[in-house]
């Protein structure tokens, strides 16, 4: 069995996510304690007790999902489970880098907290939105965006065959959704996000994030991590500051990341964090590539324990 961990990004957050894991497992509580101390905040209160509206704010969403993913990871570590490859969607790439030993848990928490604040507070003023276009080829989604002549919208997340996320001004996104339907899209879904993420509109956030990234002492990779920018594994020659600062203004090639993991021989994917969106992406990529793999997700005690049973086989 060759295991690949995948970590979700924004849009999957719900109030109370991971609380039963926190209550049952001391390993999870210890992770939250380390993160709380490093930030001088209470991430449990933010995750379990605030309103959904408050949790949906980018500055809060990112650290809450990161903390939950890292808490689950620590339980898997305690069971002696070792992945062969890692990937994450947008924010999730920081979870992957922490898992790979490239950044420490404390460093990860601080940079994720900062990243969320910058992406929220340095986005230009405006009414921004993101939408998933389902059942349309990548080039057709790009065509739908290009047909919008009044407002800014771009294809930004290439998640899997038949699903691309577009990002931009709300009215332009809505127009792109309509054009996509005319071109044959099966569905369009507005996402729970609040900025023009992965577009050049976040240039100011990218510049400020670079300054913070330059303070981090990046270590060697203990486990291969597949990067969002091109769907290929990081190498020793990669400039981490350059890549991660460009990350917020560049499209996400998550479908290609899954293809790379499959080509590396990964036959068991475990999604670590809220929701099972990425699990669905894996299944679609596998269908296209005619591969059969195990796909699990861990977001509560039930799914954690069922995944542990799968890994025993």
Please give the angle made by the CA atoms of 91, 96 and 100, to the nearest 5 degrees: 150
Q: Point out the catalytic residue in the list 69, 129, 194, 198.
A: 198
Q: CA 78, CA 72: separation in Å to the nearest integer?
A: 10
Closest residue by Cα to residue 188 from 147, 152, 136, 150: 136
Look up 198 and say whether it is catalytic.
Answer: yes
184 phi and psi, to 5 degrees?
A: 115, 5
Spatial separation of the C-alpha atoms in residues 60 and 67, rounded to whole Å? 11
Contact 223, 130 (CB under 8 A): no
In the set 69, 90, 167, 206, the catalytic residue is 90
Chain CA centroid to CA 9, Å: 2
CA distance 70 to 209: 22
* 131 noted as active-site residue: no
DSSP state of 233: B
Catalytic residues: 90, 198
């Amino acid at each position: 069995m060759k295991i690949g961990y995948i970590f979700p990004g924004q849009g999957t957050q719900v109030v109370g996510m991971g609380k039963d894991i926190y209550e049952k497992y001391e390993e999870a509580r210890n992770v939250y304690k380390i993160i709380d101390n490093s930030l001088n905040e209470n991430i449990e209160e933010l995750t379990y007790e605030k309103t959904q509206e408050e949790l949906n704010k980018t500055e809060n969403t990112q650290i809450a999902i990161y903390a939950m993913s890292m808490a689950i990871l620590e339980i898997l570590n305690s069971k002696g489970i070792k992945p062969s490859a890692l990937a994450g969607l947008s924010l999730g790439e920081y979870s992957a880098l922490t898992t790979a030993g490239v950044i420490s848990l404390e460093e990860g928490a601080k940079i994720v907290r900062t990243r969320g604040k910058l992406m929220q507070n340095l986005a230009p003023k405006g009414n921004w939105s993101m939408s998933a276009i389902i059942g349309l080829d990548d080039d057709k989604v790009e065509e739908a965006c290009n047909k919008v002549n009044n407002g800014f919208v771009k294809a930004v997340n290439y998640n899997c065959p038949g699903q691309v996320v577009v990002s931009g001004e709300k009215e332009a996104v809505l127009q792109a959704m309509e054009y996509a339907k005319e071109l044959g899209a099966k569905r369009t879904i507005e996402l729970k996000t609040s900025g023009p993420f992965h577009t050049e509109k976040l240039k100011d956030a990218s510049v400020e994030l670079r300054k913070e990234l330059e303070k981090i002492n990046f270590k060697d990779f203990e486990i291969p991590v597949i990067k969002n920018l091109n769907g290929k594994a990081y190498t020793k020659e990669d400039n981490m500051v350059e890549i991660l600062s460009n990350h917020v203004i560049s499209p996400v090639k998550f479908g290609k990341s899954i293809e790379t993991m499959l080509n590396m021989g990964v036959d068991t994917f475990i999604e670590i964090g809220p929701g099972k969106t990425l699990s669905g992406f894996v299944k679609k990529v596998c269908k296209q590539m005619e591969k059969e793999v195990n796909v699990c997700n861990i977001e509560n005690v039930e799914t954690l324990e069922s995944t542990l049973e799968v890994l025993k086989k």
